[in-house]
Chain A
Amino acid sequence: QVQVVQSGAEVKKPGSSVNVSCKAFGGIFSSYAISWVRQAPGQGLEWMGTIIPLYGTPKIAQRMQDRIRIIADESTRTAYMELSSLRTDDTAVFYCAVGFGSLSTFDYWGQGIPVTVSS
């Protein structure tokens, strides 16, 4: 069993950046597939990116490649996602989800981080 705990809510100005974290407990961290998924108000789920600490280089959704950074720190069992050049339409709940290995579903989900972008 894996427990996923995310950082708290954020309020940001347009043009700024947000950095959110996700800590996973249980299992072998380096073999996790840690994904970020966002959900705008009243909308569906949008995959943003996935990192497997064992491999290092994340896979990133093409439409976000120029303003997203995803890293994983094995020493603290924590993954981070930074989204820059924020716009008001980036307002969403950001979820971290954990699976295992390269052919991974999103088995365990964090509680979600509400991020509000407003001037």
Chain B
Amino acid sequence: DIEMTQSPVSLSASVGDRVTITCRASQDINYYLAWYQQRPGKVPKLLIKEASTLQSGVPSRFSGSGSGTHFTLTITSLQPEDVATYYCQRYKSAPFTFGPGTKVDIK
């Protein structure tokens, strides 16, 4: 099975900072990579699909890039409401594996 890894495990940044999270797949998954946001105590929310396609209603400060095995999620100007754990996920074919998550806090 394809394994998904993320780095860092957690990060703390100031409001307005640029934040980048990396996701790697153990095999080529083309662009079939999604990002989810889970705020504390809340239900996960789809942010990005096809590695870079922002879902409707997601603020433009979020962006995704990459293909193959290396992907990034960038928040250009961190806001307090962005405090959450972010998960990547491969989805072209089963198993639809999630990465272990990256926890983002405000410094």
User: Which A residues fall within an 8 A CB radius of B?
Assistant: 35, 37, 44-47, 50, 59, 61-62, 95, 97, 103-107, 109-112
**9 residue pairs A–B, Cβ–Cβ below 8 Å:** A45-B36, A47-B89, A95-B43, A95-B44, A105-B34, A105-B46, A106-B36, A106-B91, A107-B46
**In the complex, are the beta carbons of A35 and B87 less than 8 A apart?**
no
Taking beta carbons and an 8 Å cutoff, which residues of B are in contact with A?
A: 1, 32, 34, 36, 38, 43-46, 49, 55, 85, 87, 89, 91-92, 94-101
How many whole Å from A38's CB to the nearest CB in chain B?
Answer: 11
Q: How far is the CB of A5 from chain B (nearest CB, A)?
A: 12
Q: Smallest CB-CB separation from B99: which chain A residue?
A: A44
The residue on B at minimum CB distance from A35 is B96
The chain A residue with its CB closest to the CB of B94 is: A59
Contact B87 A109, beta carbon cutoff 8 Å = no
Q: A59-B94, A61-B95, A106-B36 are in contact. Are A44 and B44 (CB under 8 A)?
A: no
